[in-house]
Structure 1
């Protein structure tokens, strides 16, 4: 706690202005201490010690993300080549190379250990992300993506995801909603919309009913949603996943590519639905 500004302000204020000067000096000293704390010892985005703190938190977030991913992969009983392939695919999507890739691989292997401290790891993630719900959501969605990357979810994986969500502060309903949206995202990706997009958001072929339904689920809205409801849901999802906002809140730079891909997916789903409604 920084109090020297208050002490000095009160002292000199009293000498120069008596009781009134004491209170004025105390007030100005408090303002000085607050400004000094923001510059030298504040949270993310400050200077000096705060920059080191941000780098440490980002490194811890990155390490925990892959370590917990390895623990989820172990939930089926043993880590198979399929789980390793999934983790490798996520590293590829992030564009990890060199030291960053080695760190991710080491963290993944660490998470496979029987004595991996899951509870302690998740508590540390939640503490480091206090007041940054979007970052916690990104962490949870990362685990869901990894668990669902093969197109199915093992009962043990689902059970463990509930444990992870609870420690991160999410309810069972919130987790099930995210699981449903991730399943829809998988079906939407299978439709190949990222490859089909051309020009100003057009599509080479009309989507099937299943693909269109998946697009609605990706945005978390009903097919009967009005244009206003659709736009509101789209903006909400984009606001939660926007790379710049996540970066400002402390998302590790190695994970930015995943956030970008998510916003591209949301944009593709929104464009598809709007085009389909316009053509009717």
Structure 2
């Protein structure tokens, strides 16, 4: 059974008048985490598309990179996206439900943010409205400011790509603590760890970029420290 079939099953459980956000209250069990993750990124991505006023072909292509959508499932994927755009629930309501669904401090919340950043910069620009949107989502998720800066440094070209921000550390930390932070991020980015968090295969593949960024940041710091 494809993930889109499972998503349609979840939508089929909605009662008359319920919006897409109601689905998130019913997907906390581990077997359905990949469905929950997919809906979370699509729902917030749809809200973000409204933030900068348009949905570009590049943003649609970015959705396809995060989630493989077979031709036979395109109508179902479009329905999820449109339900999110039409839902009267605001993006903060979505963000709070997603935070509750995955749990306080869950690394999956960073995975969701990563998917949103990937979509935000897909058209080659990072709109101020998108930055405000993502900043508020991160705050609603309870993510530390350092984690948000890390994501922005990796995805936004003019954010500087500071290696310390990418690893979520400060320049005044001892090198041993920075090395420990780098190793923790490598462990969290390992495909097995991401599958265990319930991410679909496509999202796990996106982690290849994260691993490259993490290792490059560590190399830059280690070289600078001698």
Q: Return 5+ residue gaps in structure 1 as ranges.
A: 1-52, 192-209
Contact 1:242/1:260 (<8 A) preserved: no
- 154, 177, 181: which one pairs with 1:233? 181
- CA contact under 8 A between 2:47 and 2:85: conserved in structure 1? yes
Superposition pairs of residues 23-62 of structure 1, within 5 angstroms:
53-62=29-38
Aligned partner of 1:182 in structure 2 is 151
Q: Distance in 2 between matches of 1:218 and 1:143?
A: 17
Q: Given the superposition, is the C-alpha separation of residues 101 and 85 from structure 1 closer, same or farther in structure 2, using an over 3 Å criterion?
A: farther
CA distance in 1, matches of 2:72, 2:170: 40
Change (3 A) 1:151 1:228: farther
1:142 corresponds in structure 2 to 115
Give 1:112's aligned residue.
85
**In structure 1, distance between residues paired with 2:130 and 2:117:** 9
Answer yes or no: is the 8 Å Cα contact 2:117–2:155 preserved in 1: no
What is the deviation of 1:241?
Answer: 3.3
> What is the rounded CA distance, in whole Å, between the counterparts of 1:90 and 1:268 in structure 2?
26
1:128 maps onto 2:104 in alignment = no
The Cα RMSD (Å) is 3.5
Could you tell me how far apart the structure 2 residues matched to 1:123 and 1:226 are?
Answer: 36
* Cα deviations by residue, 1:107-130 (Å, 9 ceiling, x for unpaired): 334333363554553344233313
Alignment of 1:1-280 (within 5 A): 53-76=29-52, 78-81=53-56, 84-92=57-65, 94=66, 96-98=68-70, 102=74, 104-113=77-86, 115=88, 118-130=91-103, 133-149=106-122, 150-154=124-128, 156-170=129-143, 174=144, 176-186=145-155, 214-223=162-171, 225-278=173-226
How far has the Cα of 1:238 moved from its partner? 2.4
Normalised to the residue count of structure 2, the TM-score between the two structures is 0.68
1:28-64 C-alpha deviation (Å, 9 max, x unpaired): xxxxxxxxxxxxxxxxxxxxxxxxx434332122122
Q: In structure 2, how many angstroms separate the alpha carbons of the residues matched to 1:232 and 1:180?
A: 19
Mapped partners of 1:131, 1:99: distance in 2 = 36
TM-score by length of 1: 0.57
Contact persistence 1:241–1:262 (CA under 8 A): yes
Maintained 8 Å contact 1:151/1:183: no
| Alignment: residue pair count | 197
- Post-superposition offset of 1:244: 1.7
- In structure 2, the CA distance between the partners of 1:130 and 1:80, relative to structure 1 (3 Å rule), is closer
Aligned mates of 1:256, 1:270 — CA distance in 2: 21
> Residue 166 and residue 179 in structure 1: after superposition, are their counterparts in 2 closer, same or farther (change >3 A)?
closer
CA 1:114–1:249 in structure 2 vs 1: closer, same or farther (change >3 Å)?
A: closer
